[in-house]
Amino acid sequence: MALEGKVALVTGASRGIGRAIALKLAQLGASVIVNYSGSKTRAEDTAAEIRSTGSEALVWQCDIADEQAVQKMIKAAIAHFGKIDILVNNAGITRDGLLMRMKEADWDAVLNTNLKGVFLATKAVIRPMMRQKQGRIINVASVVGILGNAGQANYVAAKAGVIGLTKSTAREVASRGITVNAVAPGFIVTDMTDQLPEEVKDKMKQEIPLGQLGTPKDVANVVAFLASEDSKYMTGQTLSIDGGMSMQ
């Protein structure tokens, strides 16, 4: 198995894309720390499914935007597993609205979770990864961080920031054997997108060259590649998984 003996921390792994990533990495042999901020039951479900593949799982609740809580999680994970080889910065939220009506609190909430959270978790794993002289960091950005999107100024700013942060971090740690890449999913069917009206989803499908919405597994498969030895000569890249939406 490609990730046998590896330890992966996946933020926001209780459901959706994070859950699919956690399961995929576990199927490939990795032990997984399942971070979440919402429902413990769903995080425990993810962990139970990981254990059913024969891999180990540790469930850890923490707000990814809280520096002390993030540091505590990384310490606990290293105390439990001895190391962290793979960090997947997946946790994210939306608070949509037109910019002229957007509340400062909605701007702050999205930037804190979606961008500052990536900074904090990355900062916390960098030293341990440097000591190990190897590591894989994979950030979940979004197609809208490349294209922009009306009604999502906060989310787009955060995701464009994640793409920039990916490149800067990649340059800073490349000489230490650590790679940092991002994925930019398009429209993926999860709880985050489930509430959208059917007519919006139908319109989206028409705008996607491959003609269908994506699944969490579509994203997880690419993240697994970026976590594996097969991607060892790639860093600072953002791979779009969007059915061709961002193709120009």
Residues engaged in binding ligand NAD (CB under 6 A): 11-12, 14-18, 35-38, 63-65, 90-93, 113, 140, 142, 185, 187-188, 190-193
In the residue annotation, 155 being an active-site residue is answered as yes
Q: Considering the complex, what minimum distance in angstroms separates the CB of residue 187 from ligand NAD?
A: 5
Residue 19 C-beta: closest distance to ligand NAD, Å: 7
Q: Which of the residues 36, 81, 119, 155 is marked catalytic?
A: 155
Residue 36 or 81 having the CB closest to ligand NAD: 36
Four-residue CA torsion sign, 135, 157, 101, 189: negative
- In the chain, DSSP finds a helix count (H) and a strand count (E) of 10, 7
Question: Please, which residue, 78 or 204, has the CB nearer to ligand NAD?
Answer: 204
Could you tell me the smallest distance in angstroms from the CB atom of residue 30 to ligand NAD? 18
The smaller minimum CB distance to ligand NAD, of residues 130 and 204, is found at: 204
How would DSSP label each residue in 96-159?
A: -B-GGG--HHHHHHHHIIIIIHHHHHHHHHHHHHHHHT-EEEEEE--THHHH--TTBHHHHHHH
CB 111 within 8 A of CB 154: yes
Residues catalogued as catalytic:
155
